[in-house]
């Protein structure tokens, strides 16, 4: 699951009925860091200079192999939920949540407004 380490933006969401919503740009990016069987996920906001605005809020998760799938198991003081990892590559990943929505992510590329 080390492939999940880094910054990710949502590229699309597929609903249970097959409807797909594409996201051309997102003002929020997920930072994910996985170490062994646990991880941290944090929402950050990219700035035009390539840095990020962050807060102290984050979610922790456990990485569990269940039968033939990998699950990210989240638990906060307010809720708990699982996401099933459907696919991972160096530049994309997809997860299925409890509402049967499939979230597709692509690796975030920082803004670059420098001219050559």
For 23-75, strand residue ranges (E) read 29-35, 38-46, 52-53, 59-66, 69-75
Q: What is the CA radius of gyration of the chain?
A: 15
Q: Across residues 43-61, what is the average pLDDT?
A: 91
Q: Across residues 111-116, what is the average pLDDT?
A: 63
Give the model's pLDDT for residue 97.
Answer: 96
For residue 113, pLDDT over 70 is answered with: no
Is this structure's pTM higher than 0.75? yes
User: Of 37, 76, 70, 35, nearest to 58 (Cα)?
Assistant: 76
pLDDT per residue over 62-106, tens digit each? 999 999 999 999 998 899 999 999 999 999 999 999 999 999 999
Give the model's pLDDT for residue 115.
Answer: 56
Please state which architecture CATH assigns to domain 2-107.
Beta Barrel (2.40)
User: Of 76, 75, 74, 77, nearest to 85 (Cα)?
Assistant: 74
pLDDT per residue over 28-41, tens digit each? 999 999 999 999 99
Give the model's pLDDT for residue 65.
Answer: 94
């Amino acid at each position: 699951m080390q492939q999940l380490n880094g910054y990710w933006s949502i590229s699309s969401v597929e609903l249970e009925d097959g409807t797909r919503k594409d996201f051309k740009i997102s003002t929020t990016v997920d930072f994910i860091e996985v170490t062994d069987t646990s991880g941290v996920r944090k929402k950050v906001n990219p700035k035009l200079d390539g840095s990020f605005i962050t807060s102290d809020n984050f979610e922790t998760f456990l990485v569990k192999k269940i039968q033939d799938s990998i699950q990210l198991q989240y638990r906060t003081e307010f809720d708990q939920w699982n996401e099933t990892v459907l696919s991972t590559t160096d530049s994309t990943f997809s997860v299925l949540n409890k509402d049967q929505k499939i979230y597709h992510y692509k690796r975030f590329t920082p803004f670059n407004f420098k001219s050559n």
